[in-house]
Amino acid sequence: MDKNTVWGLVLMAAIFFGFMYCNKPSQEQIQQQQQTAATTPTQQDPALSGADLLEPAQISHLRQAVAALGSDSVYTDQALNLRLTTAGIEGTVTVNNQPVNLAALTDTASTLDPAVRRQAVATVENLINRSAKYGPFAAALAGENTPVVLENDLVKITINSRGAMVAQAQMKQHSSTRNGDPEPVSLFKGPNDGYGFIFTTNDQRLDTRDLNFKIIEQNDSSVLLQLPIATGATWGIRYTLSPDNYLLHTEIVQQGMALALPASTASLDFQWHQTMARNEKGRTFEERNSGIHYKYVGDSPDDLTATSDESETLNNRVKWVAFKNQYFSSIIIANNYFATAEVSHAQIKEGDFVKDLNLKASLPYNLNDGTAASFDFYFGPNEYERLCDISDYIHSDEDLDLGRLVPLGWSLFRWINTLIIIPVFNFLASSGMNMGLVILLLTLFIKLIIFPFTYKSLKGQARMRLLRPEIDEINKKYPGQENMQKRQQETMALYSRAGASPFSGCLPMLLQMPVLVAMFSFLPSAIALRGQSFLWAADLSAPDFIVELPFSIPFYGNGVALFCLMMTVVNVIYMRINMQNQPGGEGMPGMKWMMYLMPVMFLFFFNDYASGLSYYYFLSLLITIVQTWAFRRFMNHDKVRAELLQNLKNPKKPSGFLARLQEAQRQAEAAQRAAAKRKK
């Protein structure tokens, strides 16, 4: 582009904008135009005469929809109030809380605001489309939702007629402990929580959540909700609440469905969504123990990884699926099985919710069966005994193994919990005493059971401590890093001759570890501790923060849990005593530093855990310290020392393990000498 062309374009643009500026209306002219528009009647926009008006064909479809959907030739919902007359159809459409006459939607001369008319026409078209989509089920689109309540002494269940689904399940004996909220725990809360059945026809998928069921039968514990179907068929859901449990038995009852659905229909889809609300004060364990669990027919339960977003397709026959929270679960148990299922959950890191959970499943379905399918819902607490009893309660053909919903650790630790810890805990709790005292008595019981191991460990430590003069002599005789192997060899020989073993104190302690780990799994899962106070702890299932810091410490948080702090102090004292019991322990600064680091790590690890767990470990360590002091106070040191010296005079044959260890040290020393010779 040359220079003349550029200047020409600039000149043309200048002339154009100058012309526009000179011919713009003045402020007086603008005001006069606005006044004229305000006093002039609104004229019909020709462009709206087709798209924003109801055509005669649409009016005909609307009459058919009202005839199919309405009762006594009348259809009403929140937006529509229509009725058939001898002349045709009349009524109103509500837009922005203002009724619009149906006649205004067909009159090209109407002065109705175009935007209002478009919205009203869209509302009518939506009704026509839904009527065409749902066919014989279309009559169930009309009507207002009517809630039905079934309850016993344990649970209150609200069922909506819209969708015939459970809208809320309230625990009558359990309240939310979050922020001291006294409201009952609700397993369904938000408008997005719910489930529905999907009918698949030749060209449509019909969702029962869109349909309004009629209440046919109702009493205090049972209700039958049924769809009005134009063909004369019936399809309904009967709910029956157990009088003394959290089980809601559910049956799909039907008749003549071959008249409403294609003969090829062989399955019924089920979709369930729940945004799991927080109920506990402590978020750490609630997040960790919330997720989806499931069980294949004839197999063991499994679950999705709770600490990450995950989804899985279950291609085998599924017996049950549970939406599990820390202390409560919503479970669906098929009488037969789900043919396939897809499960997924996503974490919600902040706010009032912890997980977003979804289930899509398929049920075997027969059009001609009177009871098309049946299953049981469980909306209740994760009580181990109650969950284990469900298999017998509903007369299941197989063990449902629902007790696995309570996290009690791996097989060995679970065995300890189920056979020892839980029975003793329940026995003590049945007395009605404070849960802090129950934990104290349970700790004493455990200490009594493992006392033989503790005694053997203390005795082994005492033998090691009383040999300290002989060990010091060995250290003086073989000083320096170059004599380290010789020192170790002589030390092991001393232990062997004296009848002491460096492992005699460690092995009994290791045998006690399964009990400690089992309690680590049990206490945070014990719903009996939920909401129970003890001393300054308002809730033994949550952290006992006594101070809220104005800042957050990495890996620690901004709260100071007193039981955790006390446990740490006692743990440091316990480590100090153990170091003193070890020969040469004071001369091992590296090991000493490592031993004292562990309690500090536990301080960070346990700070936001359940206070009942920190309280138990505090008691356990404190009792161990008392046992150690009592053993050392009442043990006859001179007698044990004399026994060791006598053994040194008449040495015993080394144990198999010590003999092998000494032989390994001799071989290592010989290899080291040979390597040194080769270097020379």
Question: How confident is the model over 160-216, as pLDDT tens digits?
Answer: 999 999 999 999 999 887 766 678 899 887 677 889 999 876 667 888 998 999 999
The model's pTM:
0.76
User: Are 71 and 199 part of one and the same domain?
Assistant: no
Is residue 657 included in any domain, yes or no? no
Decide: 416 and 424 in contact? Cβ < 8 Å. no
**Are 528 and 639 within one domain?**
yes
Same domain, 165 and 236: yes
Listed in order, strand segments (DSSP E) in 47-201 are 74-76, 80-85, 88-95, 98-101, 147-151, 155-160, 165-175, 184-186, 194-200
SS (H, E, C) 372-422: EEEEEEEEEECCHHHHHHHHHHCCCCCCCCHHHHCCCCCHHHHHHHHHHHH
Band the pLDDT of 472: cuts 50, 70, 90: confident
pLDDT value at 435 more than 50: yes
The pLDDT of residue 492: 73
Q: Residue 522's pLDDT band (boundaries 50, 70, 90)?
A: very high
Pair 460, 548 in one domain: yes
Report how far residue 619's alpha carbon sits from residue 614's, in angstroms, rounded to the nearest whole number. Answer: 9
What does residue 146 show for φ and ψ, rounded to 5 degrees? -125, 115
Question: Is 51's pLDDT higher than 70?
Answer: no
| Of 2 and 80, more confident | 80
Considering the domain architecture, whether residues 249 and 218 belong to the same structural domain is answered as yes
Query: Which pLDDT score, from 0 to 100, does residue 645 have?
Result: 73
Shared domain for 379 and 491, answered yes or no, is: no
- Among 136, 155, 189, identify where a domain stops: 136
> What digits encode the pLDDT tens for the residues 253-274?
998 888 878 777 777 899 999 9
| Domain-embedded: residue 560 | yes
State the pLDDT at residue 421: 94
Least confident of 401-415, 491-505, 617-631: 491-505
Over residues 320-358, the pLDDT tens digits come to 999 999 999 999 999 999 999 999 999 998 888 899 999
Q: Is the confidence at residue 443, as pLDDT, over 70?
A: yes
User: Where does the pLDDT of residue 670 fall: very low under 50, low under 70, confident under 90, or very high at 90 and above?
Assistant: low
* Whole-Å CA distances, 404 to 158, 258, 309: 28, 41, 21
Task: Please state the rounded mean pLDDT for residues 647-658.
Answer: 61
Helix (H) or strand (E) holding 121: helix 114-134
Q: How far is it, in rounded angstroms, from Cα 489 to Cα 499?
A: 15
pLDDT recorded at residue 33? 45
| In-domain check, residue 172 | yes
**Of 57, 61, 60, whose CA–CA distance to 128 is shortest?**
61
Among 89, 104, 136, give the residue marking a domain's end: 136
394 and 454 together in one domain = no
Range(s) of the domain holding residue 73? 51-136
In this predicted model, what pLDDT tens digit does every residue of 545-581 receive, in sequence order? Answer: 998 888 888 888 888 999 999 999 998 888 887 776 5
The length of the chain in residues reads 680
Task: Read off the pLDDT band of 586 (50, 70, 90).
Answer: very low
- Residue 19 included in any domain: no
Of 357, 387, 407, the one marking the end of a domain is 407
Whether residue 509 is contained in a domain is answered as: yes
If asked whether residues 293 and 339 sit together in one domain, one would say yes
Please check whether residue 15 lies inside any domain of the structure: no
DSSP 266: -
Contacts of 615 (CB under 8 A, 6+ apart): 436, 439, 534, 537, 540, 563, 567
Same domain membership, residue 211 and residue 130: no
pLDDT band at 226 (very low <50, low <70, confident <90, very high): very high
Q: Is residue 33 part of a domain?
A: no
Residue 562 lies in a domain: yes
Residue for token pair 């009762």: 71
Q: What pLDDT is attached to residue 129?
A: 84
Specify the pairing of strand 80-85 against strand 88-95: antiparallel
Give how many domains the chain has, as a whole number: 3
CATH of the domain at 163: 2.70.98.90
Is residue 390 domain-shared with residue 509, that is, in the same domain? no
- Residue pair 89/82 in contact (Cβ under 8 Å)? The answer is yes
pLDDT of residue 38: 36
- 620 with 555, same domain: the answer is yes
My answer on whether 476 and 560 are in the same domain is: yes
Considering the chain, what percentage of its residues have pLDDT values greater than 90? 34
pLDDT over threshold 60, residue 590 = no
